[in-house]
Structure 1
């Protein structure tokens, strides 16, 4: 089945910005930061908690379509089509929505979004330590098509159920809820939503680029397709009637017998909110037909349908499909801080945003009562100065480590040409060259350790980019936070302080990656180094040896995360190729001894 290949636009490179400008024309209460692709409320009530979201474009009206002064988002950050915005954009978004009560950042569970939004949060916290406790982070993964075995440590993808988190948490913020109340409500809702997508074909990826053809046959439908054209769970042929398809989808959502796919504690005959979402290419005629079939099937199973939402909330450009979301409401007997009445009232609050569709605010009527006779969207604060115990040795050790890593680039590139996509060595080399430039300019020095670490973090973000850059930058941002927390008024860095800061940084990194040793990632030697450093009384030599052993050990591991997870595991073990990212960590710690 061919997909749409013609589009109305001026230029693919300006499509996102022009779309955001048009959104501001639709809603004059919005403003746009063109350089950073941020839409935000022009006149914000800064006495209330702000919500900020974002991600790749192509999912309109998510995310910018939910920005407005009443009820949902205060700001949204847009990336290019199906690509996460970078951390600098997000950090600027955090600055724009900064307020007295705090900010809750909500992202879908995709690696780029989690890393870049998380990196921005940690950088902002490092640069503004007095505001670090006023930033909260919610990751939404609601796709039941990705089972536990398939998702492993990555987890479920974020789909249209995410907008229910936006709406309910946003309404509570508008009512004056505290930061913790808004965060807890958003987290609660995120844990009780389940979504499944279904499509007749893939979407054309980027408007203005070469035509893409779907490999789905004319008579096929795919269950579980992702919103970035990811393959689904299974295919059916011929395309079944809705009366056959909808029961299968509801089984995916509510089954508690499938331990691989039972994510939400449905018990049967539950009280639910239904969201039928257009993935971009469905007609309104079909969508309403889908709603009717979903309602009928839920009634037959004894469910109580308290609300029905239908429309275009989160698309995959023009994908000819829909997604079905169920939000499980609490019962009166559950020991839970959130009542169904409160959640429904928050859902019913009328927002002043173009992306939110009209809703009735009441449960659908029984069938008999429906029918009648007849026809029927920086500048860092000054922070305490922490100095190295030996400033000259501090700089020399950094130079030695980055020069060693530059020298190791060909070998790491060779490893990554087998175990990944071939760019790990060049990525690390670019980061090292950026660090050397900062050293030569004096921006990295032993006289201000915290500021130097923040500068290293910025280099990792800007010069390295991608997943590796985000991981390094999150780690160094957190390392700066940990060192500042140890010496809030300044001081001299000791081995004990480094140990504490390293442990803190690793725990922060774990918040944004599910990789845990052994995983055949850079986490293996990094965690080995830090754990040994803490347990050995700050013995650097023993810690470096532990990191080297862990990096060597990745030769025999099956990848659980990172790009190597897509490479056949037997091939990696047969060729005895270590993980390139892990090898980079080994090179760094083996040459950084004087840093302590």
Structure 2
């Protein structure tokens, strides 16, 4: 897949970090910015509370500056993208927020950050010997993808689990705890953290040349770092979500893999965990919601007790399309376990921390399904039967299969002319109708009932504008057919009345570059006495002509007209109607 290399920059790449920090300070009135050293800090920190300082390279937003504020961090020191800040910047942060209560510096386990922040701490202690014992230093390494053998010297990389350390230690500091108490709780959390990430592709650094794709279309990388470092392994084809989540969870909780069994999980339904599902920057909220639910379900299936489920964007790798799972194993000792949960649940005054329910995730309760009943016709209880029921069934199946096969092409059309969902929407409806045929709910033995079921499938499985249009048309067609006799079905009158009924809900009229174009051409041809094949031909012509028609309705009406004409793409909904009608008359 292609790497997303386009970025919106305020001025140029060289000022992006500073521009971003200014924006963070505009969002949070508590904050101030030392522009020369790129330190975001609480403007008036409480000297009676331990100060927490963090930092590192930029490109991981909202980490780190997004967590500065009441209840989490006191200051964040920001380097260039993926590059640690220098010791001078860190010393400035200590001078700005350090106090007699104490200062805790928390860094991710990366060599540059340890060296630069550590050097700044030592330099500060040398210059202020009276305050040396009040500045403590904690390194967080939570990545389980790097095993003991591979990381024998450098240890585990620091990932998004670091944010949980910020939150819990920061909440305890706000309560007025001593520097030793804050350090101890931060260390306890660090020792019980495990994180693993997965990426669909690497990210792109603003201002750098566009790079080639690192992964194929059907390949993912497990264990990628947050600076584009290679992962633990590549997997192809991409497994289904639940299988992928199972692999990731196993890497964290397994005690059999001695090379990466870092967290003392006990097993046997004894483990209580806090779960953090993190967007690495390029996933949609739609995907993240699905992943979060999947993680919670799979953990419960494995016997773990999920005490908190937190999901959102906490520590990114710029625009990397991927996610990570972090598990914080709660201590067996009840007081410490309850303390950690209460600290996690405390509200904060920072834009980076996402909402949490502050309770264990509940088991999903589904609403009972309401059965759909189809009443008999008022005129007669005798079903309206097609002249050749098997041929009716075959025609509906052909139409559905034609739509399913054409999904990629319809999607391509709609990507240009609309919002890109038409192909999948039509395919969803067609798939649902095929299932009803297998269940015997759609049959030429009872046309009226079959059309009601098809209308319902369009309504429930397609949704959106196109689903509503199909559902209205088929519902109206059903009403028109109810007046037919069992001997002679009045298709002409039923189609005519269905189109009139549809017109009461849409302003689209031919030519409008919508599905109404071929549908109205077909119906009008039938009403005028044309044969079925001629009517389908008229619909085909109308659909093909939409590529030259100015959009007057539908999503295409919002697309620049000259662009549509240049692309010479037909309306995707109209193309779907064309395919359905052509399939109906095939032998």
TM-score band, normalised by shorter chain: 0.5 to 0.7
Output one character per residue of 1:370-422: Cα deviation in whole Å (capped at 9) or x when no partner. Answer: 333359xxxxxxxxxxxxxxxxxxxxxxxxxxxxxxxxxxxxxxxxxxxxxxx
Q: CA deviation at 1:208?
A: 2.1
Q: CA deviation at 1:357?
A: 0.3
DSSP 3-state at the match of 1:299? helix
Partner in structure 2 of residue 301 of structure 1 = 302
- Partner Cα distance (1:127, 1:64) in 2: 27
Output one character per residue of 1:208-244: Cα deviation in whole Å (capped at 9) or x when no partner. Answer: 2211223211100100000000000111111111111
Q: CA deviation at 1:4?
A: 1.2
CA contact (8 A) 1:224 1:231 kept: yes
Q: CA deviation at 1:104?
A: 0.3
Partner in structure 2 of residue 194 of structure 1 = 194
Partner in structure 1 of residue 319 of structure 2 = 318
Instruction: Say whether 1:373 aligns with 2:368.
Output: yes
Output one character per residue of 1:176-218: Cα deviation in whole Å (capped at 9) or x when no partner. Answer: 11100000000110010000010000001x2122112232111
DSSP 3-state at the match of 2:15? helix
- Partner Cα distance (2:312, 2:350) in 1: 14
List aligned pairs for 1:414-433, cutoff 5 A: none
CA contact (8 A) 2:51 2:97 kept: yes
List aligned pairs for 1:310-389, cutoff 5 A: 310-332=311-333, 339-367=336-364, 370-374=365-369
- Partner Cα distance (1:310, 1:297) in 2: 15
Partner in structure 2 of residue 261 of structure 1 = 260
| TM-score of the aligned structures, taking structure 1 as reference length | 0.61
- Partner Cα distance (2:292, 2:22) in 1: 33
- Partner Cα distance (2:16, 2:100) in 1: 35
CA contact (8 A) 1:6 1:208 kept: no
Instruction: Say whether 1:115 aligns with 2:110.
Output: no
Partner in structure 2 of residue 236 of structure 1 = 235
- Partner Cα distance (1:76, 1:279) in 2: 20
DSSP 3-state at the match of 1:294? helix
- Partner Cα distance (1:157, 1:249) in 2: 16
Larger radius of gyration: 2
- Partner Cα distance (1:329, 1:292) in 2: 21
Partner in structure 1 of residue 14 of structure 2 = 13
CA contact (8 A) 2:100 2:131 kept: no
- Partner Cα distance (2:280, 2:203) in 1: 9
Output one character per residue of 1:437-458: Cα deviation in whole Å (capped at 9) or x when no partner. Answer: xxxxxxxxxxxxxxxxxxxxxx
Paired residues, what number? 367
Instruction: Say whether 1:92 aligns with 2:89.
Output: no
CA contact (8 A) 1:66 1:355 kept: yes
Output one character per residue of 1:253-275: Cα deviation in whole Å (capped at 9) or x when no partner. Answer: 00101110000000112100000
- Partner Cα distance (1:292, 1:352) in 2: 27
List aligned pairs for 1:37-116, cutoff 5 A: 37-68=38-69, 70-116=70-116
Partner in structure 2 of residue 29 of structure 1 = 30
Partner in structure 1 of residue 161 of structure 2 = 161
DSSP 3-state at the match of 1:96? helix
CA contact (8 A) 1:2 1:212 kept: no
- Partner Cα distance (1:373, 1:193) in 2: 39
- Partner Cα distance (2:287, 2:155) in 1: 31
- Partner Cα distance (1:154, 1:330) in 2: 26
Partner in structure 2 of residue 209 of structure 1 = 208
List aligned pairs for 1:503-542, cutoff 5 A: none
Partner in structure 2 of residue 282 of structure 1 = 283
- Partner Cα distance (1:46, 1:231) in 2: 43
- Partner Cα distance (2:84, 2:164) in 1: 21
- Partner Cα distance (2:116, 2:96) in 1: 17
Higher relative contact order (CA closer than 8 Å, sequence separation 6+):
1
CA contact (8 A) 1:37 1:89 kept: yes
Structure 2 residue runs without a partner (length 5+): 371-587
Output one character per residue of 1:533-563: Cα deviation in whole Å (capped at 9) or x when no partner. Answer: xxxxxxxxxxxxxxxxxxxxxxxxxxxxxxx
Q: CA deviation at 1:29?
A: 1.2
Output one character per residue of 1:418-441: Cα deviation in whole Å (capped at 9) or x when no partner. Answer: xxxxxxxxxxxxxxxxxxxxxxxx
- Partner Cα distance (1:132, 1:341) in 2: 32
Partner in structure 2 of residue 138 of structure 1 = 138
| TM-score of the aligned structures, taking structure 2 as reference length | 0.62
CA contact (8 A) 1:278 1:322 kept: yes
**CA-atom RMSD in angstroms:** 1.1
Q: CA deviation at 1:319?
A: 0.2
Runs of 4+, deviation exceeding 6 Å: none
- Partner Cα distance (1:325, 1:110) in 2: 18
DSSP 3-state at the match of 1:150? coil
CA contact (8 A) 1:51 1:104 kept: yes
DSSP 3-state at the match of 1:151? coil
Structure 1 residue runs without a partner (length 5+): 376-596
- Partner Cα distance (1:307, 1:255) in 2: 21
Q: CA deviation at 1:149?
A: 0.5
Instruction: Say whether 1:173 aligns with 2:173.
Output: yes
Partner in structure 2 of residue 554 of structure 1 = none
DSSP 3-state at the match of 1:53? strand
Q: CA deviation at 1:332?
A: 4.0
- Partner Cα distance (2:240, 2:332) in 1: 33
Stretch moving more, 305-314 or 323-332: 323-332
- Partner Cα distance (1:230, 1:351) in 2: 32
Partner in structure 1 of residue 183 of structure 2 = 183
CA contact (8 A) 1:193 1:326 kept: yes
